[in-house]
Structure 1
Amino acid sequence: MRPKIKDVARLAGVSPGVVSLVLNNSEGARVSEPTRLRVIEAAAELGYTPNRLARSLRTQRTHTLGMISDQIVTTPYAGRMIQGVQDAAWEAGYLVELIDTAGSSAMEAAAIEVMLSRQVDGILYATMYHRVVEVPEALRDRPVVVLDSETGTDGTAAVVPDEVEGGRTAARRLLEAGHRCIGHITEAEDVPAARLRLEGFRRTLTEADAFDESLIWTDHADSAGGERGARELLSRPDRPTALFCYNDRMAMGAYRAARKLGLAIPGDVSVIGYDDQELVAAELEPGLTTVALPHYAMGRRAAALLIADIERGKPNRDDENQEETAAGTTLEPCPLVERGSVGPPEGAATPKGGPTDI
Structure 2
Amino acid sequence: MSRTFLVKEIAGQSGLSVATVDRVLNDRPGVRALTRLRVEEAIRDLENQSRQRALSGRKFTIDLVMETPARFSAKVRAALEVELPTLQPAVFRARFHLWEMIPTEALVQALDSIRRRGSHGVILKAADVPEVAAAIDRLTDAGIPVVTMVTDLPHSRRHAYVGIDNRAAGETAAYLIGAWLKPSAGQVLVTLSSNRFRGEEEREAGFRHALRRFHPDIGIVEISEGFGRDQETVALARHALLADSRIAGAYSIGGGNRAVLEAFAEAQRSCVAFVAHDLDVENATLLRERQISAVLHHDLNQDMRKACRHIMQAHGALKEVPGGTLSPVQVITPFNLPPGA
Please say if 1:336 is aligned against 2:340.
no
How far residue 28 of structure 1 moved from its aligned partner, in angstroms, is: 1.3
Match of 1:78 in 2: 76
Structure 2 CA distance, aligned partners of 1:107 and 1:189? Answer: 22
Q: What percent of counterpart residues are identical?
A: 12
How far residue 129 of structure 1 moved from its aligned partner, in angstroms, is: 5.0
4+ long deviations beyond 6 Å? 58-61
SS, match of residue 210 in structure 1 = coil
Specify which of 95, 98, 117 is matched with residue 94 of structure 2. Answer: 98
Match of 1:194 in 2: 200
How far residue 245 of structure 1 moved from its aligned partner, in angstroms, is: 1.5
How far residue 192 of structure 1 moved from its aligned partner, in angstroms, is: 0.8
**CA offsets per residue over residues 226-273 of structure 1, 9 Å max, x none?**
323433443456412211122331x211111121222345xxx32222
Specify which of 206, 214, 220 is matched with residue 212 of structure 2. Answer: 206
| TM-score (norm: length of structure 2) | 0.64
1:189 to 1:181, Cα distance in 2 relative to 1, 3 A: same
Match of 1:296 in 2: 301
How far residue 207 of structure 1 moved from its aligned partner, in angstroms, is: 0.8
How far residue 111 of structure 1 moved from its aligned partner, in angstroms, is: 4.3
Give the RMSD, CA atoms, in angstroms. Answer: 3.9
Structure 1 CA distance, aligned partners of 2:137 and 2:156? Answer: 14
SS, match of residue 244 in structure 1 = strand
Please say if 1:28 is aligned against 2:19.
no
How far residue 196 of structure 1 moved from its aligned partner, in angstroms, is: 1.0
Q: Which has the higher contact order (CA 8 A, sep 6+)?
A: 1
Q: Are the counterparts in 2 of residues 165 and 200 from structure 1 also a CA contact under 8 Å?
A: yes
User: Which runs of 5 or more residues in structure 2 are unaligned?
Assistant: 16-52, 99-105, 336-341
How far residue 65 of structure 1 moved from its aligned partner, in angstroms, is: 2.5
How far residue 130 of structure 1 moved from its aligned partner, in angstroms, is: 6.4
Q: Are the counterparts in 2 of residues 182 and 244 from structure 1 also a CA contact under 8 Å?
A: no
Please say if 1:228 is aligned against 2:235.
yes
Please say if 1:286 is aligned against 2:263.
no
1:111 to 1:219, Cα distance in 2 relative to 1, 3 A: closer
Amino acid corresponding to residue 92 of structure 2 in structure 1: V
| TM-score (norm: length of structure 1) | 0.61
Q: Give the alignment of 1:101-250 within 5 angstroms.
A: 101=97, 108-109=111-112, 111-112=114-115, 115=118, 122-123=120-121, 125-129=122-126, 131=128, 133-134=132-133, 135=136, 137-140=138-141, 142=143, 144-148=145-149, 149-154=152-157, 156-179=159-182, 180-183=185-188, 184-210=190-216, 215-221=221-227, 222-236=229-243, 238-249=245-256
1:336 to 1:84, Cα distance in 2 relative to 1, 3 A: farther
SS, match of residue 96 in structure 1 = strand
- The structure number with the bigger radius of gyration is 1
SS, match of residue 334 in structure 2 = coil
How far residue 101 of structure 1 moved from its aligned partner, in angstroms, is: 4.0
User: Which runs of 5 or more residues in structure 1 are unaligned?
Assistant: 1-26, 36-57, 117-121, 314-323, 341-358
Match of 1:305 in 2: 310
**CA offsets per residue over residues 18-42 of structure 1, 9 Å max, x none?**
xxxxxxxxx615331499xxxxxxx
